Amino acid sequence: MSTLKRKAGTLSASDSKKPKQDGSIMSFFGAPKPAAGNKGAGSTAAGAAGAAAAPEAPAVKFDKAKWVAGLTAEQKELLQLEISSLHESWLALLKDEVTSKEFLDLKRFLNRESDAGKKWFPPKEDVYSWSRHTPFNTVKVVILGQDPYHNVNQAHGLAFS
């Protein structure tokens, strides 16, 4: 019994695949769909153009200096890393979490470990590097994961970089 196979055609140099001009991950997913609330807006060209544009998220109003001024002396000491290196857009959203009892207990534990001469990874200056590389307004998806932090020059604080 013979099988029929399609013969592979030969491609000339001019027929080879060309990379797309806008071949980024963002172009793959395309523009956001209009919100469901815009259905009754009408079908004019101007209405369609307005519906296609995604509304800007309201800017988070956060006064970092005022927030820091409201912290206790112990909180300021424990949260020095967050105050100095966590991007302000994330700090505005995480301010209640970083002042929680559990987070402050974690900071106390890490300070005891450091005082005992133990190393922990990533290095302090890299713990919040993710927030500086990705301010909140640029984030579309957050994937939580874990890097195996073993030793010096291995940990960088970006699990899926």
Q: Are 85 and 125 in contact (CB under 8 A)?
A: yes
Q: Which two tokens stand for residue 92?
A: 């505005």
Output the pLDDT for position 143.
Answer: 79
The residues, ordered by sequence, that sit 6+ positions from 116 with a Cβ below 8 Å of its Cβ are none
> Which residues in the chain belong to E strands, given as ranges?
none
pLDDT of 58 strictly over 80: no
Task: Determine if the pTM surpasses 0.85.
Answer: no
pLDDT of 100 strictly over 60: yes
pLDDT confidence bin for 30, thresholds 50/70/90: low
**What are the distances in angstroms from CA 127 to CA 36, 51, 87, 114?**
39, 40, 11, 15
Q: Lowest-confidence range among 9-23, 36-50, 59-73, 116-130? A: 36-50
Q: How far apart are CA 80 and CA 114, in angstroms?
A: 15
Q: How far apart are CA 126 and CA 159, in angstroms?
A: 12
Residue 64's closest CA among 43, 85, 50?
85
Q: How far apart are CA 76 and CA 83, in angstroms?
A: 8
Mean pLDDT comparison of 10-24, 86-100, 113-127, highest-scoring range:
86-100
Catalytic residue among 96, 105, 115, 147: 147
pLDDT of 59 strictly over 90: no
Domain boundaries, the chain: 64-138
Output the pLDDT for position 51.
Answer: 46
User: Strand, helix or coil at 83?
Assistant: helix
Output the pLDDT for position 36.
Answer: 61
Mean pLDDT value across residues 85-93? 95
Q: Is 147 among the residues known to form the active site?
A: yes
User: Could you tell me what percent of the chain has a pLDDT over 90?
Assistant: 39
Q: Which residue has the higher pLDDT, 131 or 55?
A: 131
Mean pLDDT value across residues 24-40? 59
* Mean pLDDT score across all residues of the chain: 76
pLDDT in tens, 105-115: 999 999 999 99
φ/ψ region of 157 (left if φ > 0, alpha if ψ in -120 to 50, else beta) reads left
